[in-house]
Structure 1
Amino acid sequence: MSITKWDTSFLRGAEPKARSPRKRALIILNQPFSIPLLKSLWASTEWHCCADGGANRLSDVLGEARRELLPELIKGDLDSLRDDVRGYYESVGVPVVYDGDQYSTDLMKCVSALEEKERAEGTEQHDIIILGGLSGRLDQTVHTLSYLHKLRHKRQRVFAVTDENVGWVLDEGEHEITIDHSVLGQTCGLLPVGIDSTVLTTRGLRWNLTEHESSFDGLVSTSNHLDPEHDIVYVKTTKPIWWTAELRS
């Protein structure tokens, strides 16, 4: 079985973009974020979409500079989008699309819009960067965990980012994660979400595991540390598992 390789170069902004052969899409959720994080992710991505009230967040954090970062799309059931924000973005040509499907969340609707774009243009999959989704209401956080767990069946790379954390699902098998210690902080975790249990082997962490079972009823590897002596973390897992790492301020 081949080893899946991961990196978080998108956190560094525009510099890695030219080097990456993969296209990236940014989906902004209705949760707080800082301007530095927004600008780094925006510069690293080619397509930008606000999920309903995510447009409020984008508009409010940018203020008078909001015309500098215009999304390609605002989509959702639009129950959170303020009238003033909708009016502004429509006035500068940003499409605002209503989707009233009650069986999908605003995040799911934005992912569907990206998939329609990929099919229409005949392009390869974008890596998806979700800004938000790991903070705020617990039910929304659990939805993010669940949805990314399901997305692994059809999307190769989907990341969730907040000002505090970055996380994604490692499917069953072997993985190598390139660690940029200038961007990632000290703590990390491997979370057995959505599975009964998994067997983990790791290298490159301060406290490594060797064929160790992990489950909610047993061991959960939280508050582990990245080893500053290693730039690669190796993870072997028998079931899908969430990887999370702290971001530096």
Structure 2
Amino acid sequence: MTTVLRSTELKHATDRDSGELCPFYSSVLRLCLRPFSLPPPPHRAEERRLGWLRVPSSARNLSQNSIKVALSLRYSFEEVKMLWRTVRSMDVMMHSSSFLLPKLHRPANKSVKNYALVVLNQHLPRYMPRLWDHANLRICADGGANRIFDEMFQLTNDEDEKSTRNRYIPEIIEGDMDSIRPEVKLFYSSQGSKISDKSHNQETTDLHKCISRIHHSTPEHEKHNLCVLVTGALGGRFDHEAANINVLYLFSEMRIVLLSDDCLIRLLPKTHHHELYIESSIEGPHCGLFPVGAPSTNTTTTGLKWNLSESKMRFGSMISTSNIVQSEKVTVQSDADLLWTISLRNLA
């Protein structure tokens, strides 16, 4: 039910003496030319906890037909914070694929991110040594350890396979341990890798287990600068691919990039506006943008050959595929979570 702010009810939202309003309502007053549906009034303790902002006398005199606001503070503090995030201006989230550049070629003027690398049980991409060098933490998801053990030597210029194996040691091997070979597990354990056996947990995938570990072990103040790179997430069985994409949604507050030899995929959450800085020497020009799980009724882009302008997208109708990047910066705004994918060049 929509509650209309009446002059007799203003006292519930404002201080009687100062005419001040809590932060949530001051934002709503600036935006509410359409109905807002919220529950009834609060406890006094909740009023005191939220603090106050002054409301101009002109705002208190606006007609009840032009202000449709809720009068309740019965929301818990967390719920109020969620509403506040939707009312305020959206933050910009910036994305770059500079982790695919050799360290020597990384632009000096770009901030250095904290990278974690997760290796799944698929063939390693040809640029794997670059990812390894960029990462501060390397986790093999179960059989991913077999891939490092068997394939890393072929991707380096090393002359001795044994020295290569001794050099590329993951910090952690995580999963239900149904794919890793016994001799591989023994080798990495002897080299100091932590073996995290989660065979008791069959409710989540190995990738989910790895991302959950990274999420819980990263200090809160470092999470905004963390980017998780995942190899082996694309290709192979489609149900595995779908499960890996689902992890992007389960941990939508984290920056996670799924990588193959041919392309990368990342989630663009609807909670932000997005700026994608294109590294044209290593990625593009082909790209795609589409919603999964829920349709988009309003998506706008810049920097593409076929830009979207307040466009609707959903499966069974229009989605943006085989598009072309035409600028060093692509921007995306949408009312739905979108998957962004871009082709990768022949990286050595």
- 1:184-223 CA-partner distances (Å, limit 9, x unpaired): 0321000211213342111111111111101002101111
Tell me what 2:103 maps to.
14
Counterpart pick for 2:222 among 118, 124, 130: 124
Count of aligned pairs: 242
- 1:3-45 CA-partner distances (Å, limit 9, x unpaired): 22111111113243985343110000111123x4111111111
How many Å separate the matches in 2 of 1:111 and 1:210? 34
Does the alignment pair 1:245 with 2:342?
A: yes
Q: How does 1:51-130 map to 2 (within 5 A)?
A: 51-63=141-153, 64=161, 65-100=164-199, 101-119=201-219, 124-125=222-223, 126-130=226-230
Asked whether the 8 Å contact 2:171–2:192 carries over to 1, the reply is no
What stretches of structure 2 of length at least 5 have no aligned partner? 1-89, 154-160
- In structure 1, the residue corresponding to 2:340 is in which secondary structure? strand
How many Å separate the matches in 2 of 1:17 and 1:176? 17
Per residue, is there more strand in 1 or in 2? 1
How many Å separate the matches in 1 of 2:303 and 2:249? 24
CA RMSD of aligned residues (A): 1.7
Tell me what 1:25 maps to.
116
Q: How does 1:131-170 map to 2 (within 5 A)?
A: 131-152=231-252, 154-155=253-254, 157-170=255-268
Asked whether the 8 Å contact 1:204–1:234 carries over to 2, the reply is yes
Segment of structure 1 superposing worse, 82-91 or 237-246: 82-91
Asked whether the 8 Å contact 1:146–1:194 carries over to 2, the reply is no
- In structure 1, the residue corresponding to 2:222 is in which secondary structure? coil
Q: How does 1:222-241 map to 2 (within 5 A)?
A: 222-227=321-326, 230-241=327-338
How many Å separate the matches in 1 of 2:91 and 2:216? 30
Q: Percent identity?
A: 35
Larger radius of gyration: 2
Tell me what 1:196 maps to.
295
How many Å separate the matches in 2 of 1:90 and 1:113? 19
Residue 206 of structure 2 aligns with an amino acid whose one-letter code is D
Give the TM-score, by structure 2 length. Answer: 0.66
Asked whether the 8 Å contact 2:276–2:330 carries over to 1, the reply is yes
Asked whether the 8 Å contact 1:192–1:198 carries over to 2, the reply is no
- 1:127-184 CA-partner distances (Å, limit 9, x unpaired): 11111212211001111111101211x32x1111111111111011421100010010
What stretches of structure 1 of length at least 5 have no aligned partner? none
How many Å separate the matches in 2 of 1:189 and 1:45? 27
Give the TM-score, by structure 1 length. Answer: 0.91
